[in-house]
């Protein structure tokens, strides 16, 4: 196939036709990005800040166009597209303004032996960063890597998902429109299917940032391993919310309903499991049922969320729901009948087996399991007992800190859901099947640089030529004693 046709998941109407870039074309685009990297790096933090803020303003001024495109190509309601965009814009702004400070050279102590030296660490951009992104948050998610990598001084070649390539093209073209003086290649687009992503791994990039499923992530790592290209992996999740008996139950149910169902549940840090203490289980279920009953998918202005963006995901959601019920779970909201050809209405299943796929695998749909537990220790144990470790939520008035301490995830919201994703200063990443490396915040900026240690001799010490074959005999006799004196006592 030489063309990529993207369609509206609500209507199948064609949204855009884009090229499928060949391996050769991908290499050429990466080579162009390498040339542009010289110019981009020479802009320094101030120049890059100006360019990134101009890009930000351009996106915001033309947001109507972008939001409409996000609604058509991804299917999400316009207000959800606007919210996604707001979060992404926060990240561009933060990175543009903070990169210079976060990545400033750091002085280090040279130590006793080399006291006549000065020492510093510099944070140097890699050069060209390849970014492969998913479709669920087609701006926010890739932007987490792209804005960070650009602010750190890299140029970027971006491959959006085959389901949202026109959104990716709009975002990349906005950079050029806002920065007409920039050479081609500071931020470039390649489009196509999985093979185009694989080609990017092999096209000479200096680092690869991947966001997507664990299965594809391991393929990307294997391709990058051929040439030792370092990777950052932002993969899937199976996030749990723990509801303690002392929580504000109504508020917890309201937040969890949003965390689970928003964006049709197609959120890597969405809530897919709840562990609730037995004493408040019935109250929580009643509040959750009320919160969920007002939620309806659709394409119109009143829709709470849109269609499933990727049709093949519907089969996975169906399998998980059926498996949860077959394993002993009870459908308390919806059930297999909630799963349509494009839309899935909310499903809540009580007490499925811990081994069921609805508990152990990423569902990525508007479904939620609720498991009754006898204690918070049991809740933590079950919450941690999955292959993923991305994020989670804790609802408690008095026990939040102790639960946070024990949860084996990298992001946690307390008495809320998803809060960390909206804070540009906080890092985001996973462990286990949720990946490794960090995007967002100072940790994200450092992820897109390598360190360069610089040791400068400020003045020679007469007679003490430690790093020389001309070292004096007395010094050779003194060194063993010095070692014992310094470290042997």
Closer Cβ to ligand NDP, 66 or 232, answer by number: 232
Distance of CA 91 to the CA centre of its chain: 12
Q: Does 362 bind ligand NDP (CB under 6 A)?
A: yes
Q: Which H or E element spans position 213? A: none
Q: Which stretch binds ligand NDP (CB under 6 A): 189-197, 350-358, 375-383, 480-488?
A: 189-197
Strand partners, 234: 211, 435
User: Angle, nearest 10°, between helix axes 165-178 and 140-151?
Assistant: 30
- The residue within the footprint of ligand NDP, chosen from 73, 93, 206, 234 (CB under 6 A), is 234
User: Could you identify the residue written with the tokens 């049922």?
Assistant: 289
Catalytic residues: 234, 268
Pairing of strands 428-429, 3-7: unpaired
- The residue within the footprint of ligand NDP, chosen from 159, 169, 207, 273 (CB under 6 A), is 159
Closer Cβ to ligand NDP, 211 or 299, answer by number: 211
Least distance from C-beta 218 to ligand NDP, angstroms?
10
Select from 373, 310, 216 the least CA-distant residue to 7: 310
**Which of positions 399-428 make contact with ligand NDP (CB under 6 A)?**
428
Closer Cβ to ligand NDP, 372 or 410, answer by number: 410
What is the 8-class DSSP label of residue 297?
B
Q: Does 193 bind ligand NDP (CB under 6 A)?
A: yes
Q: Does 268 bind ligand NDP (CB under 6 A)?
A: yes
CB contact at 8 A, 130 and 205: yes
* Measured distance CA(241)–CA(417) in Å, rounded: 8
Structure tokens at 324: 């949860």
Residue window 288-317: x/- pattern of binding to ligand NDP, with contact defined by CB under 6 A: ----------------------x-------
Distance in angstroms between the alpha carbons of the first and the last residue of the chain? 72
Contacts of 465 (CB under 8 A, 6+ apart): 471, 472, 475
CB contact at 8 A, 269 and 418: yes
**Which of positions 196-225 make contact with ligand NDP (CB under 6 A)?**
197-198, 211-213, 216, 219-220
**Which of positions 34-93 make contact with ligand NDP (CB under 6 A)?**
none
Least distance from C-beta 428 to ligand NDP, angstroms?
6
Residue window 127-156: x/- pattern of binding to ligand NDP, with contact defined by CB under 6 A: -----xxxxxx---x---------------
Select from 387, 403, 389 the least CA-distant residue to 275: 403
Least distance from C-beta 372 to ligand NDP, angstroms?
27
Contact set with ligand NDP (CB under 6 A): 132-137, 141, 159, 161-163, 193-194, 197-198, 211-213, 216, 219-220, 234-237, 268, 310, 362, 364, 390, 428, 430, 435
């Amino acid at each position: 196939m030489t063309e990529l046709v993207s369609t509206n998941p609500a209507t199948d109407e064609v949204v855009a036709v884009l090229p499928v870039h060949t391996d050769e074309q991908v290499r050429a685009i990466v080579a162009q990005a390498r040339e542009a990297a010289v110019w981009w790096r020479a802009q320094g933090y101030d120049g890059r800040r100006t360019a990134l803020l101009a890009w930000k303003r351009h996106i915001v001024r033309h947001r109507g166009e972008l939001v409409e495109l996000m609604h058509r190509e991804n299917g999400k309601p316009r207000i959800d597209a606007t919210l996604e965009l707001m979060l992404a814009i926060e990240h561009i702004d933060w990175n543009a303004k903070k990169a210079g400070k976060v990545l400033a050279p750091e002085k280090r102590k040279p130590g006793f032996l080399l006291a006549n030296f000065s020492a510093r660490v510099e944070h140097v951009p890699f050069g060209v960063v390849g970014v492969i992104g998913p479709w669920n948050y087609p701006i926010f998610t890739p932007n987490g890597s792209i804005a960070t990598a650009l602010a750190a001084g890299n140029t970027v070649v971006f491959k959006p998902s085959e389901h949202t390539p026109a959104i990716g093209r709009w975002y990349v073209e906005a950079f050029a429109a806002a920065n007409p003086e920039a050479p081609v290649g500071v931020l470039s687009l390649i489009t196509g299917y999985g093979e185009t992503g694989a080609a990017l791994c092999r096209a000479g990039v200096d680092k690869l940032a991947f966001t997507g499923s664990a299965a594809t992530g391991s393929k990307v790592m294997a391709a990058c391993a051929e040439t030792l290209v370092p990777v950052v992996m932002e993969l899937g999740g199976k996030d749990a919310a723990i509801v303690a008996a002392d929580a504000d139950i109504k508020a917890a149910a309201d937040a969890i309903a949003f965390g689970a169902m928003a964006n049709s549940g197609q959120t890597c840090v969405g809530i897919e499991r709840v562990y609730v203490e037995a004493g408040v289980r019935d109250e929580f279920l009643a509040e959750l049922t009320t919160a969920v009953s007002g939620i309806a998918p659709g394409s119109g202005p009143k829709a709470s969320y849109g269609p499933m963006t990727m049709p093949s995901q519907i089969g996975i959601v169906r399998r998980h729901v059926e498996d949860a019920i077959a394993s002993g779970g009870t459908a308390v909201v919806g059930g297999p009948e909630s799963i349509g050809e494009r839309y899935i209405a909310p499903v809540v299943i009580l007490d499925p087996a811990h081994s069921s796929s609805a508990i152990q695998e990423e569902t990525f749909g508007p479904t939620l399991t609720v498991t009754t537990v006898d204690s918070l220790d049991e809740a933590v144990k079950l919450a941690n007992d999955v292959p993923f470790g991305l994020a989670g939520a804790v609802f408690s008035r008095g026990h939040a800190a102790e639960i946070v301490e024990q949860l084996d995830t990298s992001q946690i919201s307390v008495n809320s859901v998803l809060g960390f994703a909206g804070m540009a200063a906080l890092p985001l990443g996973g462990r286990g099947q949720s990946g490794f490396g960090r995007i967002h915040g100072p940790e994200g900026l450092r992820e897109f640089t390598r360190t360069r240690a610089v040791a400068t001799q400020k003045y020679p010490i007469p007679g003490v030529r430690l790093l020389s074959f001309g070292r004096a005999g007395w010094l050779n006799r003194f060194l063993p004693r010095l070692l014992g004196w310094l470290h042997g006592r």
